[in-house]
Amino acid sequence: MGGSILGNRVLRKEDPKFLTEGGKYVDDLLDEPMLAGAVHVTYARSTVAHGNITSIDTSDAKAMPGIIAVFTGADLDLQQVPSAFNPAATRTLLATDKVRYVGEPVVAIVSQTREQGEDASEAVIINYDVLPALIDLEVSMASDLHLYAACGSNVVFDTMVLGLPDNTGDAYFADCEVVVKGRYMNQRVAPCPLEVRGAAASWGANGRLTQWLSTQHAQGSVAPIAAANGVEESLVHIKTPDVGGGFGAKIGAYPEELLLGPIAKRVGKPVRWRETRSESMMALGHGRAQLQYVTIGGDRSGKVTHYQLWAIQDSGAWVDMGTILAPFMTRPMSSGVYNIPNIECRTTSVVTNTTPIVAYRGAGRPEATAAIERAMDMFAAHIEMDPAEVRRINLIPKFLEPHTTVVGQTYDVGDYETSLNKALAASDYAGWRAKQKVARASGAVKQLGIGVSVYVEITGGVGNGESAKVEIQDNGHALIYTGTSPHGQGHATAWAMLASEQTGIPIENIELVWGDTDLVPVGTGTMGSRSLQQGGNAVFAVSAELVNKAKTVAARLLEASEADIVLDKDAAAFHVAGTPSLTKTWSDLAKAEKSTGGLVHSDVIGVTGATFPFGAHVAIVEVDTETGKVTHLRHFACDDAGRVLNPLLLEGQIHGGVAQGTAQALLEEVIYDADGNPTSSNLAEYAFISAAELPNIDVIHMETPTPLNLLGAKGIGESGTIGSTPAVQSAVIDAVSHLGVRHIDMPTTPQRVWQAIAAAN
């Protein structure tokens, strides 16, 4: 008898295809019949960060070889579209009156080849009445020059409007023996998916639009694309081929994608669009970009009693998802894992003349963790106590029933001290501290730094459940239809494991269907680490119900009572209890049900709430005090994501998360000059991490199941990013703290480290 497949290290079903023939992405749809004869769309973009458009001359572009059409916003009769997060802010999908960031699309060019379109885009002449570029958050917040005049301010959202108390000021900390203040910049980063954005659109003879998108949420794209085309949602069909990375930036539909339907209708041909890497760096939504003012207070025994965070969120040039990340994701998680009796968190979202901010891996939770962890380090340094011990003193004690923090967020289950203990033990924290002491005493050029972070995050907060359908084919194989969207996470493997556990059908005989809104009309997509606990949970539940349906059919075929029917999972066959020799296979049952619609079950399975993964990370770095160069030597990650379905997939997500978190701590930053020009608009200028810069990552397993779904699972897609970033930043600062350095903003580049050492000296 075989055991359960769940919890085992099952190799990814997806990998052979990607490692041999490769995936099929939007740009590979060359044999798609509906795209036969497709022409190419290119966008001429703003070259200034802020200005009123005075004229647009497209005559030279129209005269160039291969050009089919050139459209301005006026040509397409584009209307102002309000922001979903502040309706006073409006824009047209192609800028018509004003541009607000370098890279904003202004003119659409249709050409026979992509190269012809790129050449023609250079010939478009746009004249501007140039306005001052507002790049600095605090300058923009105070400026009388407003990006959206109807908003009356560049502050487009402030949590004070939610009726929260304003306890800012030193009086809040009057009873504290120790008070430490800091100003931290959680810098702007670019998502950098390996596959840049791409899309294609074609109108059918039936007046229905089919659009292919590289997206994390096919179903969520239907409504905005229908609205952009002025048609009913039933007349929009979204298809998602393989997606080469998203990281949150591919959740929504962008103007370049929304315009393809109207353009295709105007030219009477299918259209394709794909951005270049430089366009992606300028116009694909950015992440993070949060300025933090932190004050922390307590006593010299190490107990923290007061914490105050003012998070000023850069929204970029549009009031998009980034606007609400601070109030609705950073603020609720501001207390982190700590039992601090007095917490005040205010957030302010501000528009600037930069690329709009969207959800990026972790989306508001990494910022909250970075703030509280940096504050804990500052507090520990001030009272000269070990930073791991200060954390231990202030942790919320273990709880297996819901716990509500001072800021009103309810966590499901938590055992933070155990995760810290596991990480400290596995990393030999005491041993590294001893080595550090020796290096400091010797005055060595290369100094060791040890960074610790303990975190909790919210996952599965998007959507209240997910759709799933499991259908048995005549050959006994199964098709799973899911409302989630895989782009590297391993859904084909994980969902097959869950269905196999219930049905006994081998995972190699189970295939996954996703991202086609005709086949899967209901779905909430992949974001916020929701997939397993909502999408996988739905597959698990629907598969169980399908087994119950199958027992009814088997009972009829075997002429027995349904209560006596047994599923032999090892054989993937049904029999009457006590008579295992006479069976009906899944194939038998599917064929028997063919005339009545087949053997299939579908449902939308709800969940009762979000879950709260947690953990602890320890980072070890070496810093060359003469050059500022940082080498990440070791990393230890204890990430508790509840019950683990497949340790191999879990470790892959942690490794990827640590890589992305380390990259933010050490390397990545989107930079603008004073005029709003991006100076990091390609991968030669934007420091993108590779395996060469990463250490071995030790994964320490820990499982505290949640009661909030059938699987006991919590999210893992973002945890590695959330835990690693503050640990690595902390390690870098720790390496030079004995030289008088107290803080270095991320990224902790050699230049910044060297400057901090020089300033301290």
Element (H, E) at 19: helix 15-19
Specify the CATH superfamily of domain 19-131+194-245+250-283. Answer: Aldehyde oxidase/xanthine dehydrogenase, a/b hammerhead (3.90.1170.50)
Element (H, E) at 754: helix 750-760
Q: What is the pLDDT of residues 442-466, one digit of tens each?
A: 999 999 999 999 999 999 999 999 9
CA–CA distance, 668 with 456 (Å, rounded to integer): 24
| Contact residues for 744 (Cβ-Cβ < 8 A; gap 6+) | 729, 732, 733, 752, 753, 756
- Angle of helix 750-760 versus helix 719-736 axis, rounded to 10: 40
Q: Are strands 614-624 and 446-456 parallel, antiparallel or unpaired?
A: antiparallel
CA distances from 249 to 189, 245, 285, 286, 737 (A): 11, 9, 6, 7, 36
The stretch 389-406 carries a mean pLDDT of: 98
CATH code for the part of the protein at 461-606: 3.30.365.10
CA–CA distance, 696 with 597 (Å, rounded to integer): 52
CA–CA distance, 620 with 636 (Å, rounded to integer): 9
Q: What is the pLDDT of residues 540-584, one digit of tens each?
A: 999 999 999 999 999 999 999 999 999 999 999 999 999 999 999
Burial of 163 (0-12, 13-18, 19+ CB in 10 A): exposed
Predicted local confidence at residue 474, as pLDDT: 97
Q: Is the pLDDT of residue 108 over 70?
A: yes
Q: Is the peptide bond before 747 cis (omega within 30 degrees of 0)?
A: yes
Asked whether 218 and 252 are in contact (CB, 8 A), the reply is no
Predicted local confidence at residue 167, as pLDDT: 62
Asked whether 694 and 659 are in contact (CB, 8 A), the reply is yes
Residue entry with tokens 């603008």: 672
CA–CA distance, 638 with 649 (Å, rounded to integer): 15
- Name residue 450's beta-bridge partners: 620
Q: What is the pLDDT of residues 690-730, one digit of tens each?
A: 999 999 999 999 999 999 999 999 999 999 999 999 999 99
- Give residue 490's identity as a one-letter amino acid code: G
> Residue 186 is encoded by which pair of tokens?
């959680």
Q: Which residues of 264-341 form beta strands (DSSP E)?
A: 271-274, 287-298, 304-316
Predicted local confidence at residue 697, as pLDDT: 97
Element (H, E) at 480: strand 478-482
Q: What is the pLDDT of residues 639-690, one digit of tens each?
A: 999 999 999 999 999 999 999 999 999 999 999 999 999 999 999 999 989 9
Q: What is the pLDDT of residues 208-246, one digit of tens each?
A: 999 999 999 999 999 999 999 999 999 999 999 999 999
The answer to whether the 363-458+612-760 and 461-606 domains have the same CATH topology is: yes
CA–CA distance, 367 with 691 (Å, rounded to integer): 25
Asked whether 110 and 267 are in contact (CB, 8 A), the reply is yes
Percentage of the chain surpassing pLDDT 90? Answer: 97
Predicted local confidence at residue 2, as pLDDT: 72
Residue entry with tokens 């005029």: 675
Query: What number of H helices and E strands is found in the chain?
Result: 19, 30
Q: Is the pLDDT of residue 1 over 60?
A: no
Q: Is the pLDDT of residue 166 over 70?
A: no
Which among 605, 422, 584 has a CA at the least distance from the CA of 524?
A: 605
Would you give the distance in Å from CA 136 to the centre of its chain?
Answer: 25
The stretch 61-80 carries a mean pLDDT of: 98
User: Taking all residues of the chain, what is their mean pLDDT, rounded to a whole number?
Assistant: 97
CA–CA distance, 502 with 760 (Å, rounded to integer): 62
Residue entry with tokens 């992949």: 526
Dihedral sign, Cα of residue 377, residue 380, residue 381, residue 386: negative
Q: What is the pLDDT of residues 593-635, one digit of tens each?
A: 999 999 999 999 999 999 999 999 999 999 999 999 999 999 9
Predicted local confidence at residue 688, as pLDDT: 87
Q: Provide the whole-model pTM.
A: 0.97
Q: Is the pLDDT of residue 400 over 70?
A: yes
Report the 10 Å Cβ neighbour count for 348.
20
CA–CA distance, 182 with 284 (Å, rounded to integer): 31
| Contact residues for 712 (Cβ-Cβ < 8 A; gap 6+) | 642, 643, 705, 706
DSSP state of 78: P
Q: What is the pLDDT of residues 137-161, one digit of tens each?
A: 999 999 999 999 999 999 999 987 7
Looking at domain 363-458+612-760, its CATH class is alpha beta
Predicted local confidence at residue 168, as pLDDT: 60
Sorted by where each begins, the domain ranges of the chain are: 19-131+194-245+250-283, 363-458+612-760, 461-606
| Contact residues for 595 (Cβ-Cβ < 8 A; gap 6+) | none
Which among 545, 546, 522 has a CA at the least distance from the CA of 534?
A: 522
Burial of 604 (0-12, 13-18, 19+ CB in 10 A): middle
CA–CA distance, 64 with 67 (Å, rounded to integer): 6
- 3-class DSSP assignment, residue 573: strand
DSSP annotation string for 592-635: HTGGGT-EEEEEEEE-SS-B--EEEEEEEEEEETTT--EEEEEE
Report the 10 Å Cβ neighbour count for 712.
20
Q: Is the pLDDT of residue 335 over 90?
A: yes
Predicted local confidence at residue 164, as pLDDT: 64
Query: How would you write 532-559 as a 3-class SS string?
Result: HHHHHHHHHHHHHHHHHHHHHHHHHHHC
